[in-house]
C-alpha cells in the first residue's frame, strides 16, 4: 500500500538557493489561480523541447543557441515553480507530485541530451555520457528518498539551476566565437568546449555518486546490521 502521508525532507543547499527561493515564492504568490502545478510542469517540459529544437536547429546557424538557452529558462520557470506553487498554496500532493515531477525530470534530461548530441557542438556519445551520469545520481537520490526520507536536490553546493546557468554560458560562448576556436585536440581526436565540459560534469557526478555511495553504505550497514 502506498504511504500517502509520507513527506521527504528536501535538502537544497546550492549557491543560489536562498535568492532563488525568494524569487520563486514571489512569483508563486502572483500566479493566476487558474494555473496550477501541473500546468507549470508542462511548461517546464515545453521549455526542454524548445531547448532541444534550438540545439538541432543550430546546425543551420549558431544564433539558434539563443533558442536553446531560452528553452532552459522556460524549463527553469516551470520545473522550479511547480513545487513552490503547491507549497505556497498549501496544496501539496506528495505521492502524485513526486511521481509526475521526477518522471518528467527524466524525460527532460533525455530530450535535452538528445538535442545537444544532434547539434554540431558536442559528440552524441558525450551527450549520452552526461545523461547516464545524471540518471545514476538521480537513482541514488530516489533510493535515499525511499529508505530514509531524504531527497537531496543539490550536491557540493551545485544544483539544477547552477547546471542550467553553466550550459547557458557555454551556449553564449559558441554564439560569439567560431566553433573552430573552441576545439581541443587530444591524440588526433577533437573535442569542443561542450565535450570537455560534458565529460567533466559527468566525471564530477560519478565521483560524487561513488563518494556518497561508500559513505552511505557504512551508514546503512549500521542501521541494518548482519543477522549472523
Which tens digit of pLDDT belongs to each residue from 101-140?
A: 889 999 999 999 999 999 988 899 999 999 999 999 989 9
Give residue 112's pLDDT. 95
Grid cell in block for residue 65: 543557441
Give residue 72's pLDDT. 96
Average pLDDT over every residue of 81-108: 88
Mean pLDDT (the chain, rounded): 85
List the domains of the chain with CATH numbers. 9-221 (1.20.120.1760)
- Of 168, 76, 158, the closest CA to residue 116 belongs to 168
HSE value, Cβ hemisphere, 13 Å, CA-based, for 84: 20
Whether 165 shows a pLDDT value over 80: the answer reads yes
Q: What dihedral do alpha carbons 210, 212, 217, 220 form, nearest 10°?
A: -160
50/215: higher pLDDT: 50
Cβ partners under 8 Å of residue 65, min gap 6: 54, 55, 58, 171, 172, 174, 175
Please give the Cα distance from 8 to 151 (Å, whole number): 6
SS (H, E, C) 109-141: HHHHHHHHHCCCCCCHHHHHHHHHHHHHHHHHH
In terms of DSSP H, where are the helices of 5-123? 17-28, 37-57, 65-88, 94-117
Give residue 227's pLDDT. 78
79/178: higher pLDDT: 79
Region of poorest pLDDT, from 4-13, 47-56, 113-122, 205-214: 4-13
For residue 8, what is the DSSP state? Answer: P
Structural contact between residues 171 and 73, judged by C-beta atoms closer than 8 angstroms? no
Give residue 222's pLDDT. 84
Residue bearing cell 551545485: 158
Provide the pLDDT confidence category of residue 9 given band limits of 50, 70 and 90.
Answer: low
Cβ partners under 8 Å of residue 140, min gap 6: 209, 212, 213
Please give the Cα distance from 185 to 192 (Å, whole number): 9
Work out the percent of the chain whose per-residue pLDDT is above 90: 36
Give residue 192's pLDDT. 78
Grid cell in block for residue 106: 527524466
Region of poorest pLDDT, from 27-36, 90-99, 123-132, 143-152: 143-152
Give residue 98's pLDDT. 83
Average pLDDT over every residue of 171-183: 72
Grid cell in block for residue 145: 528518498
Give residue 156's pLDDT. 63
pLDDT (tens digit per residue) in 23-43 = 888 999 999 999 999 999 999
What burial class does residue 186 get, using C-beta atoms within 10 Å of its C-beta: 0-12 exposed, 13-18 middle, 19+ buried?
exposed
How large is the angle between the packed helices 94-117 and 124-148, nearest 10 degrees? 170
Region of poorest pLDDT, from 134-143, 151-160, 168-177: 151-160
Grid cell in block for residue 27: 512569483
Amino acid at each position: 500500500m502506498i504511504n500517502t502521508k509520507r513527506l521527504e525532507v528536501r535538502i537544497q543547499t546550492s549557491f543560489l538557493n536562498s535568492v532563488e527561493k525568494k524569487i520563486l515564492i514571489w512569483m508563486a504568490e502572483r500566479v493566476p489561480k487558474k494555473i496550477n502545478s501541473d500546468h507549470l510542469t508542462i511548461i517546464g517540459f515545453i521549455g526542454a523541447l524548445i531547448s532541444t529544437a534550438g540545439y538541432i536547429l543550430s546546425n543551420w546557424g549558431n544564433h539558434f543557441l539563443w533558442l536553446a538557452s531560452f528553452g532552459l529558462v522556460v524549463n527553469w520557470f516551470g520545473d522550479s515553480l511547480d513545487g513552490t506553487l503547491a507549497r505556497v498554496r498549501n496544496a501539496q500532493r506528495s505521492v502524485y507530485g513526486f511521481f509526475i515531477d521526477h518522471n518528467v525530470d527524466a524525460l527532460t534530461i533525455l530530450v535535452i541530451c538528445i538535442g545537444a548530441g544532434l547539434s554540431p557542438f558536442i559528440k552524441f556519445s558525450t551527450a549520452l555520457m552526461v545523461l547516464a551520469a545524471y540518471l545514476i545520481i538521480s537513482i541514488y537520490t530516489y533510493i535515499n528518498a525511499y529508505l530514509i526520507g531524504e531527497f537531496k536536490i543539490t550536491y557540493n553546493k551545485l544544483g539544477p539551476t547552477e547546471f542550467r546557468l553553466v550550459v547557458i554560458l557555454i551556449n553564449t560562448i559558441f554564439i560569439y566565437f567560431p566553433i573552430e576556436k573552441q576545439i581541443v585536440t587530444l591524440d588526433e581526436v577533437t573535442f569542443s568546449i561542450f565535450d570537455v565540459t560534458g565529460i567533466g560534469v559527468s566525471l564530477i557526478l560519478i565521483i560524487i555518486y561513488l563518494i556518497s555511495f561508500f559513505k552511505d553504505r557504512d551508514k546503512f550497514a549500521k542501521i541494518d546490521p548482519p543477522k549472523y
